[in-house]
Amino acid sequence: MVMIKELTDELIAYCNKIEIDIVGFCDPTNFNKFNKDNTLELYLKNAKTVIVIGFHLYDLSLDAWSKGEKKGKSYHFADSILLDQCHQIESFLAKKGFKSKVIPYKPGLFLKDAAALAGIGPIGKNNLLITKTFGSQVRLRALVTEAELSYGTPIHESVYCRNCDICLYSCPAGALEEGKYYKDLCLNYCLENLKNLSENTVIWCNKCIESCPVGKS
């Protein structure tokens, strides 16, 4: 147990050094309830820990998507940073003798669920992760490792949402009505109302992120 704590502390210190905004650790057995396409065995059979990291969208321009049709390239600014940070963690653990694997975005894991299972924060009425420091202004990535680390305590209920319905009324698509998330309504509205930053770069609707009051102070 001492070795587990020491390695966990070292990794957290390293994450702080490379300016990772959020990091949490969860037990791989918590993912057994998910679909086969989203299980950890597809990526690393001897996984001992799922590592979830988050990037603070302190400016919504960081959430931009750029797609060059002529060159056939597509980039998401925040996700590119997260992916690089995941590879840095992978290298750090490799030097400690542990194999790790960065989880691809698709089919990937359910990142919000993984973050909640890692104790980072709950999933709110806006169908997004809510963190104490940054609210819902975060993007997530994950990797799985053979290293055994200290798990966070899973969070299954949002204390932030008990007396708050701001996001429900802020959604221009009506995709959060009655406490449910209607994916098709959300997707269709986003695609029809993209905010163009340039010929190739857009930002999707972020009303559910912007309206959440958590972390704004």
Q: Given pLDDT bands bounded at 50, 70 and 90, which one contains residue 2?
A: low
- Identify any residues that bridge with 141 across adjacent strands, giving them in sequence order: 53
Both tokens of 81, joined, read 């940073």
CA distance 91 to 8: 15
Token look-up 């750090």 returns 92
Q: What is the pLDDT of residue 177?
A: 85
Lowest mean pLDDT among 88-102, 116-130, 171-185: 171-185
Sign of torsion over alpha carbons 79, 84, 88, 94: positive
Task: Please write the tens of the pLDDT for every residue from 93-126.
Answer: 999 999 999 998 877 788 999 999 999 999 999 9
**Parallel, antiparallel, or unpaired: how do β-strands 100-102 and 73-76 relate?**
unpaired
pLDDT at 163 over 70: yes
pLDDT at 148 over 90: yes
Both tokens of 189, joined, read 């509205």
pTM of the model: 0.92
Task: Please write the tens of the pLDDT for every residue from 7-62.
Answer: 999 999 999 999 999 999 999 988 877 776 667 777 888 899 999 999 999 998 89
Q: Tally Cβ neighbours within 10 Å of residue 85.
A: 22
The CA-based dihedral angle spanning residues 56, 58, 59, 65, taken in that order and rounded to the nearest 10 degrees? 0
For the chain, the domains span 2-158
